[in-house]
Amino acid sequence: MDVGSITFRISITIIVINMKEPIITLDNEIHDRHELTQKAIQDSFYYGYLAKACFSSSAISQLLKSPLEYLNQINLPTESDALAQGYLFHASILEQDKFNECLFLDVKTKASKEYKLAKEERWDVFTVKDRDSALKLRDRFYNCKPASELIENSQFEVPMVNTLMDYPFRAKADVLGDYLIDLKTTQVLSAFKYSANKYNYDSQCYIYCNLFNKSYKDFKYIVIDKSPTNEIGIFNVSENFYFSGEQKVEYAIKVYENYIKNEFELENYLVEDTL
């Protein structure tokens, strides 16, 4: 063993000792977990550095599709209109200050020159129609006492970074109090159970419960239908739903290890199945 190798190992040991709770991110950097969690309060850090340095429920969903899907999102992140609308909906209920900071333009279409130019300058640009739709959902939520009372005396948008299955994960709890609650919108409330499986909400439930040290019995989804009636549903999760999420996370990590961590030649990646 050469002197340089010994010095490196000693340096790593000193770094770990000086940290309250060390965590190794996907880029092989050593951090203090509590410091990362504190920095994650800032959206720019949470959706910036941590998006590449840690797994998340969305990263797990991408890996469940394919390693190419995961790498594409890591290297070329895209912002869909659905994600933007989700942000606006959450901000209207949980972070009024951020909602008020958004730029709302009175334009007929997002294809207008004014809207496109504004989007080049900042990401939080929406139409007045978007604003009115979000406020309608917000009012519907707060006028429904069984739903709104569930988030009373709770913290909103609480970040967490922790290790799960020997890998770094990040999460942001919409609502953290007696219950761990995630807010969702849906096109058809009666189809939410199907959507929960399709969009891997079970893996999100598993990740969040473990990162925030909550039982699945204390995890709830509050869902608002975007139809004209804006129906609201409160969904508890079952033990089967929770363990289904665990299995998905385990499988996604195997995909990561087999195709990305071990530097598999992804040009040769393909799907084989029987119809």
Question: What are the pLDDT digits (tens) for 265-274?
Answer: 888 888 889 9
The confidence score (pLDDT) of residue 24 equals: 97
Q: Domains in the chain, start-ordered, CATH in brackets?
A: 11-78+144-263 (3.90.320.10), 79-143 (no CATH)
Helix axes 239-256, 67-75, angle to 10 degrees: 80
- Type of residue at 121: E
The confidence score (pLDDT) of residue 6 equals: 54
The predicted-structure confidence for 12-31, as pLDDT tens digits, reads as follows: 455 444 668 999 999 999 99
> Which residues, 6+ apart, have CB-to-CB distance to 33 below 8 Å?
19, 20, 21, 22, 23, 161, 162, 163
- Type of residue at 222: I
Give the Cα separation of 147 and 222 in Å (integer). 7
Placement of tokens 């239908």 in the chain: 225
Three-class SS string for the chain?
Answer: CCHHHHHHHHHHHHHHHCCCCEEECCCCCEEEHHHHHHHCCCHHHHCCHHHHHCECHHHHHHHHHCHHHHHHHHHCCCCCHHHHHHHHHHHHHHCHHHHHHCEEECCCCCCCHHHHHHHHHCCCEEEHHHHHHHHHHHHHHHHCHHHHHHHCCCEEEEEEEEEECCEEEEEEEEEECCCEEEEEEECCHHHHHHHHHHCCHHHHHHHHHHHCCCCHHHEEEEEEECCCCCCEEEEECCHHHHHHHHHHHHHHHHHHHHHHHCCCCHHHCCCCCCC
The confidence score (pLDDT) of residue 15 equals: 47
Taking 70 as the pLDDT cut, the residues of the chain under it are 1-19, 76-79
The confidence score (pLDDT) of residue 18 equals: 61
> Which residues, 6+ apart, have CB-to-CB distance to 140 below 8 Å?
224, 230, 232
144 token code pair: 């429904």
- Type of residue at 141: F
